[in-house]
Amino acid sequence: MPQLQEQDRAVLHQYMDQLVERSYSMLGYPCARDFDYSELYPTLRYQLNNIGDPWVPSTCALHSREMEQEVVDFFARLFRAPEQNYWGYVTNGGTEGNLYALYLARELYPHAMVYYSAASHYSIQKNLHLLNMESIVIKTDARGEMDYTDLEHTVSQNRHRPAIVLANIGTTMTEARDNVAHIRSILQSLALRSFYIHSDAALAGTYTALLEPHHPFDFADGADSIAISGHKFIGSPLPCGVVVVKKNYKERIGQLVPYIGTLDTTITGSRSGHAPLFLWYAIKKYGIEGFRERALHSLELADYTEQKLQEMGWSAWRFPQSLTVVIEKPSEEIIRKWQLATQGNQSHIICMPGVQREHINALLTDLQRSVQQKRLTAVL
C-alpha cells in the first residue's frame, strides 16, 4: 500500500493543527462545531452515491436512500408541509436548494417575474442568471427585512405576469426574517392568479421552526418550497442542505435515465450518500427537543454577547430569536483573527452551537483592548 512521504505527512500534520486553531476563532460564519460523527467513520471506506430521486430505486446499490427519505420526512413535518404532497432531497447546500426551487417555479410559470430583496444571499442573483429569469430587487428596511410596501407597489406594476417571490429566513448579515404570510396576503390582495413563494431558510429555518412565538415562513404560512443548510445549525463535516417542495409541483419535471435505472429529478444527479447519513444521525441523536435545547443555549449566548458588548460601549444589536449579533466594524486585525464577516461598517458574531462563553470572552477581551487603545490614542 502506498504511503505518504515524510515531508507530505509533515504538511498534513501542520494543516491539522491549523484546523484546530482556526476552528476555535471562527465566530463570523454560521457553522455549528459541536457535532461528533465518529460512529460513522467506518462508512468513509465506501463510496455512497445517492444518484437520482431518493424515492425511486436505482441499480446502484451503494447508497443511503432510506436515510435520505427520513431526513426529508423530518423537515417536511417540521415545516408543516402538506401530508402526502411533499418531496425533497439532500442537496450540496442552500445555494442548490434555492436553484432547485427557482427551477421548479420557472417550469410552473415560464413567464413569471421574480422578486427578491436587496438583502438576499448572493447565490440568488447567480441562480437567476443561470436560469435566465427576469427579476426585480425589492428594498429592505434598515435591518434587512423586506419592504412590503415596495413589494406591493412593484408587483402591482406587473400584475399581468405570475410572481415568484423569494423570502429570506435569516439574511446573510443581520439574520433578518421576511414574513411569508404577509407576502402571500399581498399577492392575494392584488388578485394574482399565479404565484410561487420560496423560503430561503438556509441559516435560520431549522431553529426558527422550533421557537415560540412562531415566525410565519413555512408551508402552512404560504410557502411553496423551503431550502435549508444542513452544515449550519445542525453541523456536518460536508456542506449540505435539504430542499422540500410540494410533490405535485415536482412531478412537472424529471426524466427516466436508463443508465442508472432510476428517475432523476434533482439538479446534480450524483449526490453524496454520506451527507444524508450525517443528517440522519444528528436527527436521531438529538430529535426535536435536543435541537430546541441547542437553539435555546445558542440564543442565551447571543443575548450574553449583545449585553456585554453594549456594557462595553460597543455598538451591538440583534433581531429577537436571532443567533447573529451585529456590531460596529472592529479593526482589520480582529476581523482576521476571529473571521468576522463584514459588510460596510458592520460586522457580525454568530453564536452557533459549539460556540462557548470562553470564545466570546476572548473576543470581548480583544475588543476591550481595542477600545482602550483608541482612548489612549485620543488622549495623546
DSSP letters spanning 24-77: HT--SS--------GGGGGGGGS--B--S-TTS--S---S-HHHHHHHHHHHHH
290 falls within a domain: no
Asked if residue 244 is part of any domain, the answer here is: yes
Is the backbone of residue 93 left (phi > 0), alpha (psi -120 to 50) or beta?
Answer: left
- How far is Cα 11 from Cα 14, in angstroms, rounded to an integer? 5
Question: Which entry of 315, 322, 347, 370 is annotated as an active-site residue?
Answer: 322
b/e burial code for range 170-189 (CB count within 10 A of at least 16 → b)? bbbbbbbbbbbbbbbebbee
Q: Which residue has the higher pLDDT, 255 or 350?
A: 350
- In this prediction, residue 346 carries a pLDDT of 97
Q: What pLDDT does 261 receive?
A: 46
What's residue 20's pLDDT? 95
- The 10s digit of each residue's pLDDT in 317-364 is 999 999 999 999 999 999 999 999 999 999 999 999 999 999 999 999
Say how many domains are in the chain: 2
Read off the pLDDT band of 259 (50, 70, 90): very low
In angstroms, rounded to a whole number, what is the distance separating the alpha carbons of residues 216 and 199? 10
Give mean pLDDT, residues 374-379: 70
Q: When comparing pLDDT for 183 and 56, which is higher?
A: 183
Place 379 in a pLDDT band, splitting at 50, 70 and 90.
low
Q: For residue 166, give the CATH number of its domain.
A: 3.40.640.10
**49 and 156 part of one domain:** yes
| Domain stops at, among 218, 250, 284 | 284
Same structural domain for residues 225 and 351? no
pLDDT in the model for residue 263: 66
The structure's pTM equals 0.95
Q: Is 322 a catalytic residue?
A: yes
pLDDT (mean) for 141-156: 98
Check which CATH number belongs to the domain holding 366 and give it: 3.90.1150.10
Tell whether 273 and 302 lie within a shared domain: no
Q: What is the mean pLDDT of residues 6-12?
A: 97
**Residue that is last in its domain, among 242, 259, 284:** 284
- Residue 262 pLDDT exceeds 60: no
Asked whether residue 1 is domain-assigned, the answer is no
Final residue belonging to a domain, choices 284, 304, 335: 284
C-alpha cell at 283: 436527527
Q: Judge whether 337 lies within some domain.
A: yes
> Would you say residue 289 lies in a domain?
no
pLDDT at position 84, please?
93
Q: Which amino acid would we find at residue 28?
A: G
Q: 336 lies in which domain range?
A: 6-33+296-379
Name residue 165's amino acid: V
Average pLDDT over residues 246-262: 65
In a domain, residue 57? The reply is yes
Residues 204 and 72 placed together within one structural domain of the fold: yes
Q: Does 257 score more than 50 pLDDT? A: no
- Residues 22 and 60 grouped into a single domain: no
> With bands split at pLDDT 50, 70 and 90, how would you rate the model's confidence at 103?
very high
Q: Indicate if 342 and 222 belong to the same structural domain.
A: no
Summary mean pLDDT of the chain:
94
Residue 57: predicted pLDDT: 84
Q: Where are the alpha helices (DSSP H) in the chain?
A: 6-24, 65-78, 94-108, 122-131, 148-156, 180-189, 205-208, 247-250, 274-312, 332-338, 357-379
